[in-house]
A and B are shown apart, each in its own frame.
Chain A
Amino acid sequence: MKLLEKMEERCIQCNACESVCSKAYFKTDDRTKSRIVINDDASATRDWTINVCNQCGECIAACSEEAIYRNKQGVVMIDAKKCVGCYVCVGFCPTLSMRTHDDELVPFKCVACGLCAKECPTEAIYIESK
C-alpha cells in the first residue's frame, strides 16, 4: 500500500506542501484547497502538525455509491462521476483527512502522488510502500 508518511517533529510549517498540492490539483496556490493540512496556528494548543490521509479505507465502506475505491497501488481514490456529494466520508473519516471546499461539490483527499514530499525541505513527509 502506497501512502504519504510523516515525521511531525521535522515539520517547520513552511506550507510548501500545501502550496504544491493545491497548484497540482486545483491550479491555484490556495492552501484551503490542499489535500494535506499543516497546523501552523501558533496560538492553538497543537496536538498535531500534519494531517493527511493514511489510506485506511474506512471511507470506502461508508460510501453508498461505491464512488470510493482502492487502486492497484493501494491508494484510496474518489470517482467524482459517481459521487453525490453526501459527505458521509467526511464525517466518517477517523483522522478527519477528507477535505472539502466551497467551490467543490466532491470531497478530495491525498492520493499519495508524492509531489509535496519532493518539495518538503526537511523530509517531514515521504512516500512509503507497505
Chain B
Amino acid sequence: MTQHISPERIQEIKAARQVLKTYKYSPAAVDKGYTNKTLYINISDNTIAEKEITEEIKDKFIGGKGFGLWYLWNAVNKDTKWNDPENEIVISPGPIGGITQYPGAGKSLVVSLSPTTDSVVDSNVGGHFGPLLKFSGWDVLELQGKSEEEIIIYINGNEGAISIEKAPLEELNSHILAEELTALYADDEEDKRNISVVSSGAAAEHAMIGLLNFSFYDKRRGGQRLKQAGRGGIGTVFRHKKVKAIVIKYKGVRGDSNHPADLKKIQELGVKLHKEIHDYDDIQTRKRQVGTANLVEIMNDYDLLPVNNFKYGYNPETWRISSDILKTYVTQNVPDGCWYGCSLACAKACDNFELKTGPYKGHKVLVDGAEYETVAGVGSCCGIFDMDYVFECNFYCDTYGLDTISWGTTVAFLMECYENDIINKDITGGLELVFGNRDAAMELLHQVAKGEGFGKYAGLGVKKLKKRFVAEYGADKDFLEAIGMECKGMEYSQYMSKESLAQQGGYALTNKGPQHDEAWVIFTDMVNNLIPTFEDKAEALHYFPMFRTWFGLQGLCKLPWNDIEPADNKQTDEPAKVPEHVQNYVELYNSVTGKNIDKEELIRQSERVYNFQRVFALKLGFGTREFDKPPYRSLGPATKEEYFSRQDRYDQQLKEKMGIDPEGKSVEEKIALHRQYREQQFEELTDAVYKRRGWTKSGVPTIEHLQALGMDYPEVIELVKPYQ
C-alpha cells in the first residue's frame, strides 16, 4: 500500500505549475537497439536540442555508460567541479536495454562528476526510465546547467513533447513524489505502467552521498517501486541543479520495441534462461525468493561479512538479519523484476511496512528491498542486527535520496570514531553513536534529511569527514586513514577483503572506487582458491572488470550472468566465467545490433571504454597509482581487537607466509609485521594488474595500448604522454 494522493492534491500541484519551455519532436524509430539520437537539455537557459549519434561513436563507446562518458568528457574541462553548471547528468540505456525476453535487460546507466570522488562516476540502475527513454526516441538524455527554481522535466514519448516546468509544490522525498507524478501524468490506473520518474530526496541536499531513484509502477502491489543509482552521489548533483524530477511517459512496449536484427534468436535465448531459472534458482542462489540477501549468512559463515566498520567478518547475531528472516518481510511469489521479462526477479519488496520514526511515522509504506548490500551496510557494519531497523533505514535512505552503502559505511566509521573518543556527544549533539545503537543511527539519518545538528556533516562521506576530524578535532590522521573505509572518496561496499588479496585489488584498482560493479572475486580467490598466483589474480582483475563493464555499455544487469548457472557449469573449463552465459551475451548483442562479435571482441569493447574512463579521471587530476591506495583495514588488521579476533590465523600467517616466529612479540609488533607484508603484497599485485591491463607502473594506459584499442584520440594521448 502507498499513500494514495488525492485528486485535490494533484489539482493543487498542477495549478502551481508554470511552463518554462516546450519542445516538439518526431520520435526517432528504434533500429537494431539504437535511435541514434541524443536529447540535450540545458536547464540554465532551458535549451532543448537534438544531437546525432554517429557510427564511430557507437563503435567506440557502444552505449550506456560509454555514451555517458563521451558526452561528459566533451562537456567538462580539467577544472570542472561536480557543482559547476557545466557538470552533466547523462542517462543512457544501451543497445540491448529494453528487450523484454532476456532477464536483466532494462538498466539505465548514469554518468556525472561525483561530489564524493570529485572524479567521473557511473552508476547502474533498474526501473523503467532507460528503455522508455529509448522508445521515446532517445538513446541518451544529457542534462546540463543549473536551474534557479525547482523544476520538473517531462518527456511524452508518444506525443513527441518535452516540457520544463516550474514545480514548487511537489513533495521532495521520492516515495511520495513518484506517486504524485505518476498520478498526475497517467490518464488512468492502466496508464500508470507507462510512466517512470527519476528523483532524489531531502537528504541529498545536505549530503554528498545522494542517490537517484528510478521508478516503475508495480501493478500487483498498486504502488511505485524505486530502484537506485546509488554510488557516487549523483543524487546530490541532481538536487544541486534544482531538478525535482524527470518524468517519462511512453505507452506501447512490446516484445519487438527494440527492433532487433534477429528477434527469434533473442526469444530462444530468453526462453532458455527463463527455463534455467525456473529449474535451478531454488537450489542455487534463491534470487526469486529472497533477492540478493542470501549472501548475508553465506558471508557470515565465511567470516567475510563486515561487522563494526569492517573490523570483523562474523557475528553470532547475524541470523537476525539473515535471508530467512528477510523472507518473512518481503512479499512472496510475485514476479519482482525491475524490467519486463526479468524472471530472476531479485527486486523484492515489503508491503505495508509500518514506520516507527521520522516524518512518516505510523505510515504503512512499500519498502523496496532490502538487498544484501543494504542489510550489511546499515545492519552488521554498524553492529545493528535488527531487521525492523534495516527495513526502516532502507526506506528512509531511499525516499530521502541517500545511498545505503555509503550511508552504512559512513555511520560505521562515525561509530568507531565515537568509540575511540575522536568525536563525542558534544559534537554529535547528544547522539551516542556506539556500534549497535540503532536509535541514534536512525535519528542521525533524519537529521541529515533536515540538514540539522550533526546531520549537517554526517552525509559528507568518510573522506571528507576524515579531513574534518583531523583539522577540527585533532584526530590521529594515520588511524583515520587506516580505518576509514573509502578509496578515491567512495565508501566501500560490503565485503571484507582483508584475507583476499585479489578482492583488495578488486576494490582499490578500480576506475570509480570500491564498489562491486567492477570486480567481485572474493569467492574465486578465497573460497575456491582458483587464482593462486599474482599472474592469476592479475588476469582475473583484468577479465572480470572488463566483462562487468560490458553490462554497463549494454543496459544489462550482472545478476543473470552468474547468479544462475547452467546445470553443467562446474564441468566447464572456466566455471567462474560461466562460459555458456558469456556466449548468450555475445549472441544477444549480435541479435540486437546485427553485428558479428565474438567473446574476445566483447572484452575489447569494454577495454576501450574502461581505458577511456581511466584517462578521463586523469584529465580531472586523478587516475594514477596514488589514488588506488586502499585504507589499510581493507588489507589487514588495523587494530588490536581485530588482531585478537583472528589471532590464531594471523600468528600462523606470520610463521608460514613471513617465516617469523610470533612467540614473544607484542600485538603491536605483529600488526606492524602484517602491515609491512600485506602492503608489499598489494604493491606487487598492483604491478601485475597494471601490466596486464596495458598500463604503466603509475597506472596510466600506455600509448601503444590505446592505439591498439583505437582510443588514441589526440586529447587522450596528450594526457597520458607525460606518464609513459
Contact = CB atoms under 8 A, between A and B. Distances in A.
Interface in A107-130: none
Nearest to A92: B278
A14 interface: no
Interface string B157-191: 00000000000000000000000000000000000
A86 B341 contact: yes
Contacts of A85: 100-101, 254-256, 267
Nearest to B276: A91
Interface in B231-278: 253-256, 263-264, 267, 270-278
Interface string B531-545: 000000000000000
Given A61-B333, A64-B335, A91 B270 contact: yes
Nearest to A58: B278
Nearest to A96: B275
B335 A61 contact: yes
A102 interface: yes
A86 B269 CA distance: 11
A34 to B, nearest CB: 18
A90 B274 contact: yes
A29 interface: no
Contacts of B254: 84-85, 105
A30 interface: no
Nearest to B256: A105
A50 interface: no
A61 B343 CA distance: 11
A66 B267 contact: no
Given A90-B271, A105-B255, A84 B341 contact: yes
Contacts of A102: 263-264
Contacts of B263: 102
B690 interface: no
Interface centre among B256, B272, B274 (most CB of A within 10 A): B274
Interface string B328-354: 000001010100110100000000000
A7 interface: no
A86 B341 CA distance: 5
A46 B342 CA distance: 33
A100 B270 CA distance: 12
Contacts of A64: 219, 335, 337, 340-341
A63 B277 contact: no
A88 B343 contact: yes
A57 B335 CA distance: 14
Interface string B444-455: 000000000000
Contacts of A62: 335, 343
Contacts of B665: none
A128 B714 CA distance: 75
A66 B341 CA distance: 12
A56 to B, nearest CB: 13
B158 to A, nearest CB: 16
B361 interface: no
A69 interface: no
Interface centre among A61, A84, A106, by most chain B C-beta atoms within 10 angstroms, is A84
Given A84-B255, A85-B255, A91-B278, A63 B335 contact: yes
Given A62-B335, A64-B335, A105-B256, A91 B100 contact: no
Given A64-B335, A64-B340, A91 B271 contact: yes
Interface string A25-66: 000000000000000000000000000000000000111111
Nearest to B278: A92
B340 A86 contact: yes
Contacts of B276: 91
Contacts of B273: 91
A58 B711 CA distance: 50
A66 B275 CA distance: 20
A106 B100 CA distance: 12
Nearest to B269: A87
Name the residue among A66, A84, A91, A105 with the largest chain B CB count within 10 angstroms: A91
B220 interface: yes
Interface string B271-293: 11111111000000000000000
Given A86-B100, A86-B341, A105-B254, A100 B274 contact: no
23 contacts: A62-B343, A64-B337, A65-B340, A84-B100, A84-B255, A84-B340, A86-B100, A86-B255, A86-B270, A86-B340, A87-B255, A87-B267, A87-B274, A88-B274, A88-B343, A91-B270, A91-B274, A91-B276, A91-B277, A91-B343, A100-B271, A105-B254, A106-B255
Interface of A: 61-66, 83-88, 90-92, 100, 102, 105-106
Interface of B: 100-101, 193, 219-220, 253-256, 263-264, 267, 270-278, 333, 335, 337, 340-341, 343
